[in-house]
A and B are shown apart, each in its own frame.
Chain A
Amino acid sequence: MKNFEYLEPRTVAEAVFLLTEYGDEAKVLAGGTDLIVQMKLKKQTPKYLVNIKKISDLDYIRYDNKFLRIGALTTFSALAQSTMIQENFSILMDSVRAVGPLQIRNRGTIAGNLCHASPSADTAPSLLALDARVKTVSLGEERMIPIKEFFKGPFATCLKAGELLTEILVPSIPSNTGGTYLWLPKKTAVDETLVGVATLVTLDVNGVCDDVKIGLGSVAPTPIRAEKAEKLLHKKKIEDGLLSEVGEMAVDEAAPRSRAEYRAKMVSVLVVRALKESVRKVVSHMRN
């Protein structure tokens, strides 16, 4: 690893000040599960490393029935242990479960995972389906960025130099809605995600689709929404024939690079499976 200067701000304001001061030469350290590896590989060689973990009020999970708010320093383990998330945002919980083994979950943060902007980040498809947004702070400015606009390319976000992501906001899920995240790992059970699909389905009392959101991970330069596929289901009853059409449409929207053919096939398989599972969840919920 190349040497660097290590900084430990105590407040968001202090962190933002340092990040502004050092600009591109600074990197934010949160859980470190991605960044430290990048630094060892010399793919990142920051001169200043700004450890934000000493900022006291960034580790929280709150829900006020309108928004779920997740502080930037919340680890995957904390998310995994939240019964509130399990009960109200099970689609997000599915995503959290897809993240690494215990040791990684104990360190890695959901915000750090988003900022690393790997196309295969597991929480991204669910957050896309949930229409989440992220709150950022920079010198004298706060922004609220829809997650859809957050990713700009592989490992690139719209964050500007000096801007710090402080919170993730997820709007509450309407009733009669079921969501699922399904993923296939590249090779072994514990592996980077090859294809990840999140679906969120809202049905009306007749079982007709009021709203559908489909988030795809690892099949394009960034995590994406499969909006054309979503439209096919709008105000329709979900049936097998239609489902495979939706799957095919999602394939069209994806643009995988390596193992492209297989990945494409898996998009349709997982979209169909995830939609079925989401519908099953709504229906069983309606019955109860």
Chain B
Amino acid sequence: MQDYSVIGKRLPRLDGMEIVTGKAKYTDDIVLPGTLAGKILTSEYPHARILHIDTSKAEKLSGVRGIITGKNVPMVQYGFANFVRDEYPLAFDKVRYIGDEIAAVAAIDEDIAEEALDLIEVEYEELPSVFDPEEAMKPGAPRIHEHAERNICSNHVSHVIGDVDKGFRESDYVREDRFVTQNVSHCFLETRNCLADFNANGELTFWTSTSSIYLDRFVLSHLLKIPVSKIKGNRPFVGGGFGGKGETVSCQICAALLSMKTGKPVKITLSREEQFIADRGRHRWIFELRTGAKKDGTIIAKQCRAIADAGAYNSLSFLILMHSVGYFDIVYRVPNVRYDGDMVYTNNPPCGAMRSFDCVQLRLADDSHMDMLARDLGIDTIDLYLKNVSGPGDLTASRYKLDSNGLRECIERVRDDSGWRDKRGRLPVGRGIGFAVGASIAGAKSSNDDPDASSALVKINEDGSVNLLIAAHDAGQGSRTVFSQTVAEELGIAIDDVKVNFVIDTDIIPQDQGSYASRTTIGLGNAVLAACRDAKRQIFEVVADQLHASAEDLEAKDGVIYLKGSPDGRVSFKDEGGALSLCLTSKKVVFPIIGRGHFEPETEPFDWKTGEGNISIAYGFTAKVAEVEVDTETGRVKVLNVTSASDVGKALNPLFLEGQDEGAIAMGIGQALFEKLELDKGQILNPSFSEYKIPTALDMPRTIRSTWVETLDPHSPFGAKGIGEAVIVPMPAAIANAVYDAVGVRINEFPITPDKILEEVEKKGKLGE
């Protein structure tokens, strides 16, 4: 393997001191003189026609500066995926869930804005509503969107490969299971927000906590009819995203509209309760799974019927359904596959993208199901996976091209590192060990109307220091630092000589689509690499003259530019008389030397009816083993330790990879054991951290072992693949399987709470198997 000077090192975050000293500015920390506070009025009904909105009393309240309703905002629909746009900035005809935005107020402070909301009178005509996706699909169910027959988002998805029925007939054993997953919330600590400032020249400047400032700019431009050149987006530090800040939402649009109305800067920061309601987290899925296998564990056929509750608007739901198809067959080689899926509108709060694009729910169901299948067949679960696991170079049933795939190695690694062979089936009652796998896209592909491009600028200054200008939507993953490592490695300079921007300002920073789809590592990484090479080429041309060599034969490493294979042909990068001095006197270049880099993945055909098509540049893989202890009297589960191995392509900075994995393990534990948005007729019953609980330091296992498998993906800089999403995928299923191992009960409706465990244990009559 190639040896690197900066890549692969455990370097700390370059923006770390900003954060730990409290200097890092997040959106809510930014203040403009005379900023007004905005608040949004939302629907109290799950489904109702808006007959009349009276804002007159609110307008008279002292301190109120402006109010907008659906009547005076642009009647332009928006939504993340352009073929299923179904939202308006503020509802004007009807509301479709409790929380649907109706009006917004700007006032001199938040308390007054809040008081003004109480004074707005809305007259509704309640409509029949529906909250269960299976009910919503039935004929005669209330129709939530005019365009959606049977409340089905976009279209039914049907993916069939081989002959599934024949496959089941030829199987020695067929197992069926039904699982229901729960709604989970992102719970990033910084709620969504926006500070917008519209000025006399018709220019809009905004600051917002986002995973895609360019998308926000695009949506605002599209809605407000302001050219993008006159919209300046700023993305300061961001307090977590996990997929939940990739979509432009009402609070951003309302801040802009209120600023346009009042002529003053307006800031909207959602309260924690408002965030829970507007969050758009994980969907509730219903999975009916069927798998047929030979006695030796060879899988012959797999079938999935999936129905998911999209909530009141599409958001990213339909796209998520598309991914679910591919995630069903990405981890195995199966000749016969059928996946039937529907994303269904209901009057629940909308769901959206969250870490792994819901692969975690699918794998939770399927890995639970496969664990049972293995037990039925009398085969060790890990052996069953190893028998059927997908491999490098595979083209999956859904047409994913797995050019690099280290899943087998991940599985073997966690088996060996966790002591699986000694523990599985041998632990005392109440202790158990469980295994599961995960996968995720690691990048995106462009489709015809949706380019997935990244660009980067590298500026080499006359003193040899380098400015890297990139739209790295870093929310803690460390991408700013990793790309600085990339620059240092590629130019052969010290990381201290690289300065990267912490804030993304759309006026000056070259565009990148944002951090979603684990795309940054490959997408932006390739752009940064290209920018470095562009800058390097310019320097090399000058140095080549001096060394009487050709630029192609030069290389930069550890502060020196040298002629490949020739020990004497070398110049220092920045010392007196070195490459930079040459450049200063050369007519071929001017300072700063600017390298431009651009990357756009190839466009590949994708079939929206079947969910088939190579959706990503690369795919990340992971396997995890969890060991748990179940208190057999109280049903409480303690996760004792977790062993994890992930195919990251190439570990660019192990410190950050561990951070991603450890954070995902925490999130996975929450999802497995207690996190659930409680809904009653569309009303969220637990919109606070005191009722919707996330893991604390005391809920974590005391031992976590994170390791990497390096498969060097051919499409990526240094071979690395984004892994932030894949790492969470196996965690809930590993726990579910460990709980089964511990007490012999299977909970089919998640999360796995003590109540349910005890109930099942009691039904079963005795512990263990």
When C-beta atoms are compared, the residue in chain A nearest to B690 turns out to be: A192
Given A261-B755, A262-B755: A188 in contact with B696 (beta carbons within 8 A): yes
Q: Which of B634, B635, B673, B696 has the most CB of A within 10 A?
A: B634
How far does the alpha carbon of A192 sit from the alpha carbon of B690 in the complex, in Å?
8
Q: Is the CB of B690 within 8 A of A189?
A: no
Residues of A close to B693: CB separation below 8 A: 186-188, 191
| Interface of chain A: mostly helix, strand, loop or mixed | loop
How far does the alpha carbon of A187 sit from the alpha carbon of B673 in the complex, in Å?
8
Q: Is the CB of A262 within 8 A of B696?
A: no
Q: Which of A3, A187, A265, A269 has the most CB of B within 10 A?
A: A187
Sample of 21 A–B contacts (CB below 8 Å): A3-B111, A187-B673, A187-B693, A187-B753, A188-B674, A188-B693, A188-B694, A188-B695, A188-B696, A188-B698, A189-B696, A190-B696, A190-B698, A192-B690, A261-B755, A261-B759, A262-B635, A262-B754, A265-B758, A269-B633, A269-B634
Among candidates A189, A265, A266, A269, residue contacting B698 with C-beta atoms closer than 8 Å: A189
Q: Mark B103-135, 1 if CB is under 8 A from A, else 0.
A: 000000001000000000000000000000000
Residues of B close to A187: CB separation below 8 A: 673-674, 693, 753
Within 470-485 of B, Cβ neighbours of A (below 8 Å) are at: none
How far does the alpha carbon of A63 sit from the alpha carbon of B306 in the complex, in Å?
65
Within 172-212 of A, Cβ neighbours of B (below 8 Å) are at: 184, 186-192
Query: Is B636 an interface residue when CB atoms closer than 8 A count as contact?
Result: yes
Query: Is B699 an interface residue when CB atoms closer than 8 A count as contact?
Result: yes
Q: A184-B636, A189-B696 are in contact. List 7 more A-B contacts (CB 8 A).
A: A1-B111, A187-B753, A188-B693, A188-B695, A188-B698, A261-B759, A269-B633
Q: Which of A188, A190, A192, A269 has the most CB of B within 10 A?
A: A188
Q: Mark B729-764, 1 if CB is under 8 A from A, else 0.
A: 000000000000000000000000111001100000
Query: Is A259 an interface residue when CB atoms closer than 8 A count as contact?
Result: yes
Residues of A close to B758: CB separation below 8 A: 262, 265
When C-beta atoms are compared, the residue in chain A nearest to B696 turns out to be: A190
Q: Is the CB of B699 within 8 A of A189?
A: yes
Distance to closest chain B CB from A267 (angstroms) = 11
Distance to closest chain A CB from B377 (angstroms) = 34
When C-beta atoms are compared, the residue in chain B nearest to A265 turns out to be: B758
Residues of B close to A261: CB separation below 8 A: 755, 759
When C-beta atoms are compared, the residue in chain A nearest to B115 turns out to be: A2
Q: Mark A72-112, 1 if CB is under 8 A from B, else 0.
A: 00000000000000000000000000000000000000000
Residues of A close to B759: CB separation below 8 A: 261
Q: Is the CB of A266 within 8 A of B696?
A: no
Q: Is the CB of A188 within 8 A of B755?
A: no
Residues of A close to B753: CB separation below 8 A: 187
When C-beta atoms are compared, the residue in chain A nearest to B762 turns out to be: A265
Range of interface residues on A (Cβ < 8 Å) = 10 to 19
Within 70-119 of B, Cβ neighbours of A (below 8 Å) are at: 111
How far does the alpha carbon of A45 sit from the alpha carbon of B206 in the complex, in Å?
36
How far does the alpha carbon of A261 sit from the alpha carbon of B755 in the complex, in Å?
8
How far does the alpha carbon of A272 sit from the alpha carbon of B690 in the complex, in Å?
29
Q: Is the CB of A188 within 8 A of B699?
A: yes
How far does the alpha carbon of A216 sit from the alpha carbon of B693 in the complex, in Å?
24
Distance to closest chain B CB from A110 (angstroms) = 20
Within 678-695 of B, Cβ neighbours of A (below 8 Å) are at: 690, 693-695
How far does the alpha carbon of A1 sit from the alpha carbon of B755 in the complex, in Å?
37
Q: Mark B278-312, 1 if CB is under 8 A from A, else 0.
A: 00000000000000000000000000000000000
Residues of B close to A189: CB separation below 8 A: 696, 698-699
Given A188-B699, A190-B696: A266 in contact with B111 (beta carbons within 8 A): no
When C-beta atoms are compared, the residue in chain A nearest to B674 turns out to be: A187
Residues of B close to A269: CB separation below 8 A: 633-634
How far does the alpha carbon of A266 sit from the alpha carbon of B754 in the complex, in Å?
10
Distance to closest chain B CB from A275 (angstroms) = 14
Q: Is the CB of A266 within 8 A of B695?
A: no
Distance to closest chain B CB from A130 (angstroms) = 25
Within 144-195 of A, Cβ neighbours of B (below 8 Å) are at: 184, 186-192
When C-beta atoms are compared, the residue in chain B nearest to A40 turns out to be: B271
Within 440-471 of B, Cβ neighbours of A (below 8 Å) are at: none
Residues of A close to B754: CB separation below 8 A: 262
When C-beta atoms are compared, the residue in chain B nearest to A262 turns out to be: B755
How far does the alpha carbon of A261 sit from the alpha carbon of B763 in the complex, in Å?
14
Residues of A close to B111: CB separation below 8 A: 1, 3
When C-beta atoms are compared, the residue in chain A nearest to B670 turns out to be: A188
Q: Is the CB of A259 within 8 A of B755?
A: yes
How far does the alpha carbon of A168 sit from the alpha carbon of B38 in the complex, in Å?
46
Residues of B close to A265: CB separation below 8 A: 758
Within 239-273 of A, Cβ neighbours of B (below 8 Å) are at: 259, 261-262, 265-266, 269
How far does the alpha carbon of A262 sit from the alpha carbon of B634 in the complex, in Å?
9
The 7 lowest CB-CB distance pairs between A and B, nearest first, are A189-B698, A187-B674, A262-B755, A187-B693, A188-B693, A190-B696, A269-B633
How far does the alpha carbon of A114 sit from the alpha carbon of B635 in the complex, in Å?
30
Distance to closest chain A CB from B67 (angstroms) = 21
When C-beta atoms are compared, the residue in chain B nearest to A272 turns out to be: B633
How far does the alpha carbon of A210 sit from the alpha carbon of B610 in the complex, in Å?
75
When C-beta atoms are compared, the residue in chain A nearest to B638 turns out to be: A189
Residues of B close to A262: CB separation below 8 A: 635, 754-755, 758
Distance to closest chain B CB from A41 (angstroms) = 9
Residues of B close to A1: CB separation below 8 A: 111
Q: Is the CB of A184 within 8 A of B699?
A: no
Distance to closest chain B CB from A9 (angstroms) = 26
Q: Is the CB of A184 within 8 A of B698?
A: no
How far does the alpha carbon of A3 sit from the alpha carbon of B114 in the complex, in Å?
12
When C-beta atoms are compared, the residue in chain A nearest to B271 turns out to be: A40
